[in-house]
Amino acid sequence: MSTISEKIFSRAAGTEEVKANEFVIANVDYAMAHDGTSILAVRSFREMEIKNVWNPDRIVIPFDHLTPANTDTTAALQHDTREWIKQQNIKNFFDVGEGICHQLLPEKGFTLPGKLVVGADSHTCTYGAFGAFGTGVGATDMSEIFASGKLWFRVPESIKITVRGKLPRHVFAKDLTLKIIGTLGVAGATYKAAEFYGDTIEDLTISGRMTLCNMAIEMGAKAGIVPPDKKTFDYLEGRSVEEYEPLYADEDASYTKQYNFYADELEPQIACPHNVDNVHNISDIPATRIDQAFIGTCTNGRLEDLEAAASILGGEKVAVRTIVVPASREVLLEAVRKGVIETLLEAGVTVGPPGCGPCLGGHMGVIGKDEVCISTANRNFKGRMGTGGSIYLASPATAAASAITGEITNPADI
């Protein structure tokens, strides 16, 4: 009678049947740090005066947050980290332009069902879309993993979220995700593992499941997990770096809470400033002008997202500056091959290099103090994209529709 998380931790800790709330020391299957956090993890690793990392092949480092470097300070720090990566013989290093960590680890086959993947980034929970236990830690914890390959955990309790029905036209995984977070609240799943079930979840594409699991942390969850199925195995075919064994919850697994959602009547959702759980039906939002639209990030920067935007923007012109940042080189290449980028460029969109782009306000689309941005990202905290400004979170289709009119707009109205 175990949940998926209990099973993964039993395997990773090499103990029989660990239960929620037990403390374990787990072997980490893959460890990830990006340019922002590897710098700090390396600093603390050096302070430990340990010579070599535990296993260079199990460490993955994408440079995505401030790439290409925005200042000479950033450039110098990145240079130092690159040197350390070379010296440690870490081959899984993805430099400028390869893409966002949470897109690259799945594409490169590191996020496998039943595995424990820990990242020095809060949205590491994205990997639950593949039936892995993916979770974020701070840079100091990451340096411990670099050194030993292990980390202690309190095995989380689990909640069960079941979604039934068919998402209407113009309503996407992002809208469902916002609905769930709006209902549970930013602390509604604190330190819980959220397992997702139901025909709506089964119908979601891999990309949609990644959007859903990506935002699990926004309701406080330690992980968000979709049980792996044929779609998962098909995606991983030809990508997975090693064998894996999918793990599923037992029928009588114990959940501290169960929630039910219905997709049939859902309309596009908007998370209004300045909290991710300030979620409303788009029809309840008063006329709101925008200055910028941003489509990208580890939440919504995949091919399917760019296609959804292009299907709205095709033959139209944007009324406000509109920035599209593909989540990875693979996404960008596919979007070029399929003519999606051409459609976006013709509509007046600015396309940036794969990476986080302006998501956390570092560069390439920071907003002014009184400006309003509609964004497909996962956070709308005050100051997230600049010292001031307001951020409305939405799906790529809603962001694209709003870019055309210059105010928050339901894609059904275009």
Name the site residues for ligand SF4 (rule: CB under 6 A): 65, 100, 102, 121, 123, 297-298, 356, 359-360, 377-378
For residue 141, count CB atoms less than 10 angstroms from its CB and return exposed for 0-12, middle for 13-18, buried for 19 or more: middle
Report what 60 binds from ligand IPM, ligand SF4, none; CB cut-off 5-8 Å by kind: none
- Residue 297, contacted partner among ligand IPM, ligand SF4, none, CB below 5-8 A by kind: ligand SF4
Burial class (CB in 10 A: 0-12, 13-18, 19+), 266: buried
Smallest gap from Cβ 274 to ligand IPM, in A, equals 14
Residues in the chain: 414
Residue 356 among known ligand-binding residues: yes
Give ∠ CA 340-342-344 in degrees, rounded to 5.
Answer: 70
Binds ligand IPM by CB under 6 A, chosen from 360, 366, 412, 414: 360
Residues 6+ apart with CB under 8 A from 212: 129, 173, 176, 177, 180, 196, 201, 204, 224, 226
| Interacting residue with ligand IPM among 7, 11, 123, 222 (CB under 6 A) | 123
Shorter beta-carbon distance to ligand IPM: residue 63 or 235: 63
> Quick one: which segment of 71-79, 118-126, 285-293, 300-308 binds ligand IPM (CB under 6 A)?
118-126
Residue 192, contacted partner among ligand IPM, ligand SF4, none, CB below 5-8 A by kind: none
Question: Alpha carbon of 166 to those of 145, 195, 218, 346, 367: distances in Å?
Answer: 42, 19, 24, 33, 36
Q: Any contact of residue 121 with ligand IPM (CB under 6 A)?
A: yes
- Please choose, out of 120-128, 174-182, 207-215, 326-334, the segment that lies near ligand IPM by the rule CB under 6 A: 120-128
Q: Residue 335 and residue 374: Cα distance in Å, rounded? A: 22
Residue 228 touches which member of ligand IPM, ligand SF4, none, C-beta under 5-8 Å by kind = none
Among ligand IPM, ligand SF4, none, residue 37 binds (CB under 5-8 Å by kind): ligand IPM
363, 70 in Cβ contact below 8 A? yes
**Residue 222 interacts with ligand IPM (CB under 6 A)?**
no
Q: Which is nearer to ligand IPM, 35 or 107 (CB)?
A: 35
Written as six digits, the tokens of 345 are: 């460029």
Q: Which residues contact 292 (CB under 8 A, 6 or more apart)?
A: 320, 321, 322, 323, 365, 367, 371, 372, 373, 374
d(CA 211, CA 302): 10
Rounded to a whole number of angstroms, the minimum distance from the CB of residue 37 to ligand IPM is 5
Q: Which range of residues in 117-125, 256-264, 312-320, 340-348 is near ligand IPM by CB under 6 A?
A: 117-125
Question: Is 359 annotated for ligand binding?
Answer: yes
The span from the CA of 164 to the CA of 377, in Å, is 25
Give the C-alpha separation, 29 to 89, whole Å. Answer: 18
The two beta strands, 279-281 and 269-271, are antiparallel
Paired residues of 26 in beta bridges: 151
Site for ligand IPM in 59-88 (CB under 6 A): 65
Judged by CB, which is closer to ligand SF4: 12, or 61? Answer: 61
By rule CB under 6 A, what string of x and - marks binding of each residue 261-290 to ligand IPM?
Answer: ------------------------------
Q: Which does 124 bind (CB under 5 to 8 A by kind): ligand SF4, ligand IPM, none?
A: none
Of 253 and 298, nearer to ligand SF4 (C-beta) is 298
102 is a site residue for ligand IPM (CB under 6 A) = no
Check residue 35 for interaction with ligand IPM (CB under 6 A): no
Describe the crossing of helices 303-313 and 206-214 by its angle, rounded to 10 degrees.
100
Helix extents (H) in 88-132: 101-107
Residue in the structure block whose two tokens are 């020391």: 25
- State the Cα–Cα distance between residues 274 and 55, nearest whole angstrom: 41
Give the binding-site size for ligand IPM (rule: CB under 6 A): 8
Contact 220, 160 (CB under 8 A): no
170 binds ligand IPM (CB under 6 A): no
Q: Which does 11 bind (CB under 5 to 8 A by kind): ligand SF4, ligand IPM, none?
A: none
- Closest distance to ligand SF4 from the beta carbon of 363 (Å): 11
Q: Which residues bind ligand IPM (CB under 6 A)?
A: 36-37, 65, 121-123, 136, 360
Binding residues for [4Fe-4S] cluster: 298, 356, 359
